[in-house]
Amino acid sequence: MQRFILGKKNHIAFVSAILILIAFTSKLGFKNEIIAVWSLVIASLLGVMPIAIQAYQALRVKVVSIDVLVTIAVIGAFFIRNFEESAIVTFLFLFGAYLEQRTLNKTRSAIKELTEMAPESALKQMPNGEFEEVDVDEVDVGDILLVKTGAKIPVDGTVLSGEGSINEASITGESLPVSKEKGSSVYAGTILDNGTIQIIADRVGEDTTFGKIIELVEEAQDSKSEAERFIDRFSRYYTPAVLVLGILVWFFSRNLELAITILVLGCPGALVIGIPVSNVAGIGNGARHGVLLKGSEVIGDFSRLDTIVFDKTGTLTAGNPSVAEKKYYGDNIEQALGYLASVERESDHPLAKAVLEEIGDTVLSPVENTEVVKGGGIVASVNGHRIAVGNVALMEREKVLLNEEAKADIVGFEKNGNSLVLTSVDGELKVLMGIRDQIRPGVKEDLSRLKRLGVKNLVMLSGDNQGTVDAVSRELGLTEAHGNMMPEDKAAYIKKLIEEEGQIVAFVGDGVNDSPSLALAHIGIAMGSGTDVAIETSDIVLMNSDFSRLSHALGLAKATSRNMKQNIFIAVGVVLFLLVSVFFSEWMNMSIGMLVHEGSILAVILNGMRLLRYRLRR
């Protein structure tokens, strides 16, 4: 019976509204007091039923809730035969609960949208080689699936054949389609805009990146921040205090109506709901923009941030070294570049790929007598010529003459943070290339936004040599930059910032080799397209490794924190106003008090919902 009544709260509020309307029409229009009184009595009895049930359930677990205060107030109004007040108070309370639930559901729209994006079926290859539509739960790791234009990718997988453009907004928050071909990774919940592809399932069900995102956002929205826990503790003592105040007022004044009014006006509804709605809306906004904020606690710490520490490779830089500068010496350069490409084609050194990409199409020749010089480079014979490819030390070993021009170029290239690749043909220097990891597009502007948002220190830690680190730091305008640092050195540096300098620190890394630093910092921020390690280790995940999302995340955290404070101010201000009014004015009564009270609840909810539309101003 209790469950049935609670399930019909909205219907009861609707019937109560009609009965109250009948009562006022009968009294004012037809001067019929009997119908008016009975309509108000029935409206009061109907309205108080779900409230009284909730009060009883709260008292069973030894909690004096808002429902307890309202129930006592309605009973008191009945006792003094103020049926008009009791009917209006119960209706407003139920109507306020309806509005509260409806608007809260809107703030959880990110979860709803994500859930609706979840794929339900897949075209699975059967033993006979044909593809048949099956429920997505029937897909196992290793199955081959066919995805056609307009269909959702059902699992995380790898493209086996075909190509197309995929909308990955559900994963990254970025609406621009991403081209996919054989060997590319695809994610569940994304949409194939055009093309046809076959994929092999790597992760299915809840193990997919999409499944993890939904799980994380749900957990984050259900989590409680320090401020929320404080409000919970506060209301646990505040509500009984209001009850005691009402009893004391009645005891000393013998004015039961005044005591009942205090119970209604002292309800802390807006205070209890204000902070959760801000957190839920903030986390929902982040989820829609490719930013996972893993819990309300993260928002509080992140909003007070004063230092951000960055890993270099893959965070500030693209993690894909390329030739940034080059210089040629002497004649027959095209031939020398062909020899260089022939040698580098047989090397697995990380810089070899960058050299080959820079040279492009050229004439390749057979390579003979290859000698790998440890810490130097490669020496080989190509078409009867002795080719040396490597660093300055290798050139000195090969007795290659470096004239003043070449020496000046080498110094300049190193100063700019390049790794050097020199090439000599028969002891004569022909090619000098400077290779460095390119800074991500737009990073400099994003760092400026972080400064404008109040970040005082921007620090870079890298395993690269100090010259390379300094060059990147100069270009980006960082506060500090430290090179030659192992993962344990980075962790020790962050520990020093926190324990010795008392700074609130965020670390931005790739979530794999930097996991100790991610875990140690107040806020760990992972770049990494939602990899398992990034999601598990960090507090915030930038789903597309999109550095620009970082400034959005920080701005959102600060806006959410401000929003919480605004809601607390509104809630406390309204309660103080109502309590002062009941003692020092003649116009304040239960009905007006409940109307203002429910209005304050709606105000904090609508204020919190503004966060759903938050975008960082450029």
Q: Is residue 286 part of a domain?
A: no
pLDDT at 139: 92
Is residue 7's pLDDT more than 90? no
CATH of the domain at 301: 3.40.50.1000
Q: Long-range CB contacts (< 8 A, 24+ apart) of 397-402?
A: 397/373, 398/424, 398/427, 399/427, 400/424, 400/427, 400/428, 400/429, 401/427, 401/428, 401/429, 402/429
pLDDT at 430: 92
Averaged over 262-290, what is the pLDDT?
Answer: 78
Is residue 340's pLDDT more than 70? yes
323 with 366, same domain: the answer is yes
Distance of CA 363 to the CA centre of its chain: 50
pLDDT tens, position by position, 535-567 = 566 788 887 677 888 999 999 999 998 998 898
Q: Is residue 607 part of a domain?
A: no
The total of structural domains in the chain comes to 3
From 160-174, 190-204, 601-615, the region with the lowest mean pLDDT: 160-174
Q: What are phi and psi of 253, to 5 degrees?
A: -100, -20
Q: Which residue has the higher pLDDT, 246 or 341?
A: 341
CATH of the domain at 134: 2.70.150.10
Percent of the chain residues topping a pLDDT of 90 = 26
465 with 546, same domain: the answer is yes
Q: Which residue has the higher pLDDT, 268 or 104?
A: 268
pLDDT tens, position by position, 55-76 = 888 888 877 777 887 788 788 7
403 with 446, same domain: the answer is no
Contact by Cβ (8 Å): 390, 376 = yes
pLDDT tens, position by position, 427-462 = 999 999 998 877 888 899 999 999 999 999 999 988
From 244-248, 260-264, 361-365, 418-422, the region with the lowest mean pLDDT: 260-264
466 with 328, same domain: the answer is no
Is residue 96's pLDDT more than 60? yes
Is residue 405's pLDDT more than 50? yes
Q: Which residue has the higher pLDDT, 257 or 40?
A: 40
From 144-158, 175-189, 398-412, the region with the lowest mean pLDDT: 175-189
Q: Is residue 191 part of a domain?
A: yes
Q: Is residue 264 part of a domain?
A: no
Is residue 412's pLDDT more than 80? yes
140 with 180, same domain: the answer is yes
Is residue 309's pLDDT more than 90? yes
401 with 541, same domain: the answer is no
481 with 422, same domain: the answer is no
376 with 411, same domain: the answer is yes
Paired tokens of 27: 């009294």
Of 176, 203, 230, the residue that ends a domain is 203
Q: Is residue 223 part of a domain?
A: no
444 with 455, same domain: the answer is yes
CA–CA separation, 376 and 351 (whole Å): 13
Q: Please count the CA atoms within 13 angstroms of the CA of 141 that sit on its side-chain side.
A: 6
Nearest C-alpha neighbor of 459 from the set 513, 416, 501: 501
pLDDT tens, position by position, 10-30 = 899 899 989 989 988 988 888
Nearest C-alpha neighbor of 605 from the set 577, 556, 571: 571
Is residue 227's pLDDT more than 90? no
Q: In one letter, which amino acid is 112?
A: K
pLDDT at 583: 81
Is residue 200's pLDDT more than 90? yes
Residue 476 CB partners (closer than 8 Å, separation 6+) = 316, 439, 443, 444, 447, 458, 460
446 with 506, same domain: the answer is yes
Is residue 603's pLDDT more than 80? yes
Averaged over 572-596, what is the pLDDT?
Answer: 83
Is residue 217's pLDDT more than 50? yes
Q: Is residue 493 part of a domain?
A: yes
Of 559, 578, 610, the residue that ends a domain is 559
Averaged over 141-164, what is the pLDDT?
Answer: 91
pLDDT at 171: 63
Averaged over 319-325, what is the pLDDT?
Answer: 82
Q: Is residue 509 part of a domain?
A: yes
Mean pLDDT of the chain: 83
CATH of the domain at 345: 3.40.1110.10
pLDDT tens, position by position, 98-135 = 766 765 565 555 455 556 667 888 999 999 989 999 99
Averaged over 584-601, what is the pLDDT?
Answer: 80
| Domain interval for residue 491 | 291-318+440-559
- Length of the chain, please? 618
Task: List the beta bridge partners of residue 386.
Answer: 381
334 with 412, same domain: the answer is yes
Residues with a known catalytic role: 311
pLDDT at 530: 43
pLDDT at 408: 92
447 with 409, same domain: the answer is no
Q: Is residue 352 part of a domain?
A: yes
pLDDT tens, position by position, 486-535 = 777 888 898 899 888 899 999 987 655 566 787 788 888 887 654 455 55
